[in-house]
Amino acid sequence: MGEHKAVNFMRLLSEESTVSSASSDSCEYYQTEIFDQLPSIQASRPEQDRQALWGASEPHQGGPEAAERIGHDHLSRGPKDKAFTEPLRNLVMCIQGKRGARDRRKMQISNIGFWESWRRSQSINRKRVWGQMGGALSGLLPWQHTLHAIEGRFGVGVKAYFVFLRYLVYLNLLHCALVGGFILGPTAFYGRSKSSGPLRFGGNDSVLDFFLGSGYLDRSPVFFGFYTRGSLNLQCLNTPLLYLAGMFLILILSLILVVRRTTVGYKHTWMLGKRYSTNVSYKIFSGWDFTIQDPSAAILKHSFIRNDLKLFLEEESFSLREAQRTVGQAVRLYLLRFVLNLLVLSLLAGAFYLIYYAAKTSQKKSADYWLVSLVLEYLPPITITFVNLVLPHIFRTISSFEDYSFTMQVNATLVRSVFLKLASLGIYLYLILTTTEPHQNPSRCRENVFGREMYKLCIFNFLATFCSTFLLNYPWKLLQETYPSCLLVRLLGKQRFLIPFKVLDLVHSQTVSWVGVYYCPLLPLIGTVTLMATFYIQKFTVLRCCVAEQRMFRGSSSSVLFHFMLLLGLLMAATTLGFNIYQQEATPDKSSCGPFGNGETVFNVTGVCMNSLPGPAQSALRYLTSEAFALPLILAEIIILTSYVSRGQANQKAIERLKDMLVMSSSDKRFLVKQHATGLKRQRKPQRVGPTAIEEDSAPS
């Protein structure tokens, strides 16, 4: 009861009450009659009565000292430590309130000891330094100014795409560091096997090898077959184990980073979803940054607020229209959605068959002209790119007839398109793994053949992005500016930056990089270069060729979906790697190449290392890889998940209580304003009656 009153007291502090201490002010405040009339006190009165009955006997058992101690604790309890050490800049209050807080801090410093005063001042300085360091580091992030400009003109949704692209650049740079430390470094320092010849550009090599991944590039460090055993040939420290450790670290760290990014984004989306609603008056009257001095920054801030309000009005309009649907309209809508989903499934089935036919056709060898051979080599990537370019636009048109909100339309198109991209890539990978027969040509390395296909996919994706921008989008924009009244130009309309399709391209390219990194270790480096070039290409596209979307969508929920799709691509890459390793173990090949040459497999190399370890280490590793370890692992996971669920439920209850406190605080303020207005009317009423009475008395005389 006392704690609740203390919170109310701190919220209703007046300027005059800052002179005295908290305990005396709280006693004086509680003794007023208006305190018992507040709506929050009236609502919490039954619960307070039950708590009072429960603890009525405790002060009598402890004597007057206990009662005095309890009363002093109730009066002095409050959020002092955090509020006192928090810098005044971070406190959410007006200037007058911050001045009062500064005066109260000075008074409290005079009443505490030297050590406590020094500790609090150091805590304030530490927080200020960390805040300045965080602001300086955030200013060093690449493309920060570009992201602000894009957000101001095109909204937070388009900015989310470029932030996602920058995140992929960071991820690939991490992969490059791991590849350099575990694979390239040991190979450069300890060399390769004696049977490996020097790397030279031969007479049969040509420039086409850099597009096909054959010839000189096939013998280079780009592919798996280059990395053979060197002078580093210990039982538990050799080239195969370092290669395997580097690949597993890439997948594990990618999983941790993507899962963390997904969970953090989901928590942010959940907190800012339908459970929480920001007042429009706050966006209008409190959304401006008064530290802005540059006119261009002011224009960008105006655009931020305008786009936020457009998004809010769009969502509210759709919610109102959805609430006004009748039962018949809802039934017709669900029937229409069912038919459209059947159409989507039919299109997906046709696309998968087309990819299967292209993969089978490309495996047929022909002695035709080199251009025909090049087209046949790139026929599966061309087919996959064509399918992924056409069908998402059809899915976007279909989702517009399903009567979803604009954000939901974007997410539905994303889900269907990502299923198309991942499933088409999965079918292509399965065909490669099941149809590659190295026994027919012992000189061919099966891992290099697989890595070559991933290399061609990566190169062709970048070429498709480059050509679509400079051979399609930019000429289209020039045609619109040169002939604005042309009938064809008006029919085609203005270009929009279609976020779902751009994100799908990024997810597809990153999935290809994860799938092919085992067979093409330099693929993360190639991916980093292509992603950085893609950033500038898409920046040119969005700023030069596109116009802002008329309908905005919330970028936070879509950002979570971006990373979830990336997680699906990572799981697909891990599944492909596991299937390939199992296939190598089931059908060992004596003519294999790379680190696991001469008939060696992953299990053979790791088995030799385990047998060389001491007995206790072997027993521990066998127990960790046995089925007996599954039970305690499952129990530990259940305990961890239970604790997280319990914590989430407790936090949810605390959030609901805080929301109720906010509502009751607003009720208290309205009640106090009403009482204050009533008091002012009572004070003005005698002043108005006084002159009238004097005039009436002087009239008869």
The tens digit of pLDDT for each residue in 643-680 reads 988 988 888 888 888 878 888 887 888 888 888 888 88
> Is residue 63 scored above 50 in pLDDT?
no
- The CA-atom distances, in angstroms, between 608 and each of 229, 234, 528 are 15, 10, 36
> Is residue 174 scored above 90 in pLDDT?
yes
Instruction: List the beta bridge partners of residue 496.
Output: 547
> Is residue 59 scored above 50 in pLDDT?
no
- If you average pLDDT over residues 479-506, what whole number do you get? 81
> Is residue 694 scored above 50 in pLDDT?
no
Chain segment 81-131, per-residue pLDDT in tens: 445 556 676 666 777 777 887 777 777 666 666 777 788 778 778 877 887
Of 283, 513, 477, 503, the closest CA to residue 388 belongs to 503
Which of the residue ranges 127-136, 573-582, 590-599 would you say has the lowest mean pLDDT?
590-599
- If you average pLDDT over residues 529-557, what whole number do you get? 79
When pLDDT is cut at 50, 70 and 90, the band that residue 169 belongs to is very high
When pLDDT is cut at 50, 70 and 90, the band that residue 621 belongs to is confident
- If you average pLDDT over residues 613-642, what whole number do you get? 85
Distance of alpha carbon 78 from alpha carbon 4, whole angstroms: 10
Distance of alpha carbon 227 from alpha carbon 239, whole angstroms: 8
Percent of the chain with pLDDT over 70: 72
Helix and strand numbers, DSSP H then E, in the chain: 29, 0
Q: What's the CA dihedral at 432, 438, 440, 442 to 10 degrees?
A: 150
The pair of structure tokens assigned to 449 is: 């053949």
Q: Which of 137-141, 190-194, 303-307, 450-454 has the highest mean pLDDT?
A: 450-454
CA 447 to chain centre: 34
> Is residue 580 scored above 60 in pLDDT?
yes
pTM given for the model: 0.69
Distance of alpha carbon 434 from alpha carbon 571, whole angstroms: 20
CB-based contacts of 148, cutoff 8 Å, min separation 6: 300
Distance of alpha carbon 592 from alpha carbon 584, whole angstroms: 10
Q: Which residues of 669-692 are buried (b: 16+ CB within 10 A; e: fewer)?
A: eebeeeeeeeeeeeeeeeeeeeee
Instruction: List the beta bridge partners of residue 547.
Output: 496
Chain segment 366-384, per-residue pLDDT in tens: 556 667 777 777 788 888 8
> Is residue 354 scored above 70 in pLDDT?
yes
> Is residue 278 scored above 60 in pLDDT?
no
When pLDDT is cut at 50, 70 and 90, the band that residue 198 belongs to is low
Higher pLDDT, 362 or 281: 362
What is the pLDDT, as a whole number, of residue 667? 80
Taken in order 298, 303, 308, 312, the sign of the CA dihedral is positive
Instruction: List the beta bridge partners of residue 238.
Output: 233
Higher pLDDT, 642 or 95: 642
> Is residue 533 scored above 90 in pLDDT?
yes
Distance of alpha carbon 563 from alpha carbon 260, whole angstroms: 10
Q: How many CB atoms lie within 10 A of CB 553?
A: 22
Taken in order 149, 155, 156, 159, the sign of the CA dihedral is negative
DSSP 411: H
What is the pLDDT, as a whole number, of residue 590? 56
Distance of alpha carbon 65 from alpha carbon 439, whole angstroms: 92
Which residue type does 467 have?
C
The string of DSSP codes covering 280-348 is: HHHHHHS---TT---HHHHHHHHHHHHHHHHHHHHHHHHHHHHHT--HHHHHHHHHHHHHHHHHHHHHH
DSSP 166: H
What is the pLDDT, as a whole number, of residue 683? 81
Residues in the chain: 701
Chain segment 399-452, per-residue pLDDT in tens: 888 888 777 887 788 788 878 888 888 888 888 777 765 444 555 677 888 888
What is the pLDDT, as a whole number, of residue 124? 76
Residue 278 φ/ψ, nearest 5 degrees: -85, 135
3-state secondary structure of 496: strand
What is the pLDDT, as a whole number, of residue 586? 67
CA 162 to chain centre: 12
Which of the residue ranges 51-60, 389-398, 615-624 would you say has the lowest mean pLDDT?
51-60
When pLDDT is cut at 50, 70 and 90, the band that residue 7 belongs to is very low
CA atoms within 13 A on the CB side of 457: 32
> Is residue 692 scored above 70 in pLDDT?
no
> Is residue 551 scored above 70 in pLDDT?
no
3-state secondary structure of 233: strand
Instruction: List the beta bridge partners of residue 233.
Output: 238
Scanning 493-554, the segments in alpha helix (DSSP H) are 499-516, 523-540
When pLDDT is cut at 50, 70 and 90, the band that residue 32 belongs to is low
